[in-house]
Structure 1
Amino acid sequence: MEAVRKMKGGKCEEAVQLLRDANMRYKNEPEAAFNVQMASFLDL
């Protein structure tokens, strides 16, 4: 996942923004929204 690469590269703010954007994009699709939320908990 791109957010993980950014976190490892020290670009935490960019990683957080990617996850927020993905969460907003997929918030109406239950399975996709759940996956994005789980990824954000694992990354951060």
Structure 2
Amino acid sequence: MTEAEKSGSNPESGISSCLIFSQCILLRIILEKNYKFIRFVV
């Protein structure tokens, strides 16, 4: 993706990148919790 696309020339791409970003944060939180849980069990 180019900088022009990131700056919001296309609203849909901005929304999709925001969704991807939030999914990455959720995935990271889930992985961190699972990692702590695995360490606790092992």
Higher relative contact order (CA 8 A, sep 6+): 1
Higher percent of residues as helix? 2
Give TM class, smaller chain.
0.3 to 0.5
TM-score of the aligned structures, taking structure 1 as reference length: 0.40
TM-score of the aligned structures, taking structure 2 as reference length: 0.42
